[in-house]
């Protein structure tokens, strides 16, 4: 996938280590960890604790949304560089089944369209150990007008 809508993959300008350090510095409250990074998206993990559960012993909707939002943001940073002021403009989640409350949540993000001002992506969320999705999320991020994507290397 390219910024021009072709089939080529975008170049990664921030690798896993750089993204992890950026999150640690800019969003110390986030406990989502980055598992893998590519030009088309990322894989993330949220360790689930009792703080993430709702009555009934399942992972809460807000916890799932947070994982998806971080996955989208990190995917954008991976190909554009440290655009700290990129913001969520839309996030839609479809809850597909009850996630396990005793295992981590994994998120796989894929960017669908990367424009100069808007980026659209999707995230599929899973309970660790299962390939059956628990939620599907689509989201749009606004890129600040003064953000200049890093040139390809």
> Which pLDDT score, from 0 to 100, does residue 16 have?
97
The answer to whether the beta carbons of residues 24 and 83 sit under 8 Å apart is no
CA distances from 89 to 33, 40, 103, 132, 144 (A): 23, 20, 30, 28, 12
User: How does DSSP assign 102-141, residue by residue?
Assistant: TS-EEEEEEEEEE-SSEEEEEEEEEETT--SEEEEEEEEE
> Which pLDDT score, from 0 to 100, does residue 78 have?
96
- Low pLDDT (below 50) residues in the chain: 1-8, 150-153
> Would you list the domain boundaries of the chain?
16-142
Report pTM.
0.89
Q: Please state the φ and ψ torsions of residue 37, each to the nearest 5 degrees.
A: -135, 135
At the topology level of CATH, where does 16-142 sit? Thiol Ester Dehydrase; Chain A (3.10.129)
> Which pLDDT score, from 0 to 100, does residue 65 have?
98
> Which pLDDT score, from 0 to 100, does residue 83 have?
85
């Amino acid at each position: 996938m390219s910024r021009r809508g072709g089939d080529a993959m975008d170049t990664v300008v921030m690798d896993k280590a750089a993204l992890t350090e950026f999150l640690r510095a800019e969003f110390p409250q986030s406990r989502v960890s980055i598992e893998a990074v590519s030009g088309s998206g990322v894989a993330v993990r949220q360790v689930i604790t009792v703080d993430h559960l709702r009555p009934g012993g399942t992972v809460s909707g807000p916890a799932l949304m947070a994982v998806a939002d971080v996955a989208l943001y990190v995917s954008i940073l991976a190909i554009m560089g440290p655009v700290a002021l990129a913001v969520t403009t839309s996030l839609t989640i479809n809850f597909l089944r009850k996630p396990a409350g005793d295992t981590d949540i994994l998120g796989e993000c894929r960017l669908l369209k990367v424009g100069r001002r808007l980026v659209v992506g999707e995230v599929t969320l899973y309970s660790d150990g299962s390939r059956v999705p628990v939620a599907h999320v689509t989201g749009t991020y606004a890129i600040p007008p003064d953000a200049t994507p890093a040139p390809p290397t």
